[in-house]
Amino acid sequence: MFWHFPCYLQAYEGMTNESRDPLFRTRPVSVILKRDWKLLMFHEEWVLDDRSKNLDGNNSIELYNLKDDMAEQNNLAQINTRKRDELLKELLDWQKNIEAPLPTNPNPEYFDKNN
C-alpha cells in the first residue's frame, strides 16, 4: 500500500502531547506499507539532504517493522539498509509511475533570493 501526502496539516489545540511535531499533524510525506514494514519519506528532508545521495547520513527516511514495533519507536533506516533501499526504490518507482505531484519550486514568499 502506498500513500502520498505532499502537504502540511496544522496541529490542533491539545495535540502537542500526541505528536513529535508541535506545529503540524503531518508534514509532506510519502509512505509504503508492505507486509510488516513501513517506510516514510519526508519530502522536506529528502530535498535538504540531497535526496538519495547520502542515505546513510540523512533524516528523510524512516523505516519501521510494525510486527515488532507497532508504536514506531525504533527507526531502522540506518540499521536495515537493505530493506530501506528496497522499499525506497519501490516508493520512488511508484511516485514516478503515477506522476505524483512533488514540489519543485521554492515558495516566493519564503525564498530568500540572496541565498
Average pLDDT over residues 101-107: 69
What pLDDT, on the 0 to 100 scale, is given for residue 44?
76
Delineate the domains of the chain, giving CATH numbers in brackets: 2-98 (3.30.1120)
What are the cell numbers at 98? Answer: 503515477
60 — pLDDT class (breaks 50, 70, 90): confident
What is the C-alpha end-to-end distance of the chain, expressed in Å? Answer: 39
Residue 51 pLDDT more than 90? no
d(CA 17, CA 12): 11
What pLDDT, on the 0 to 100 scale, is given for residue 49?
67
More confident residue, 114 or 31: 31
What pLDDT, on the 0 to 100 scale, is given for residue 89?
96
80 — pLDDT class (breaks 50, 70, 90): very high
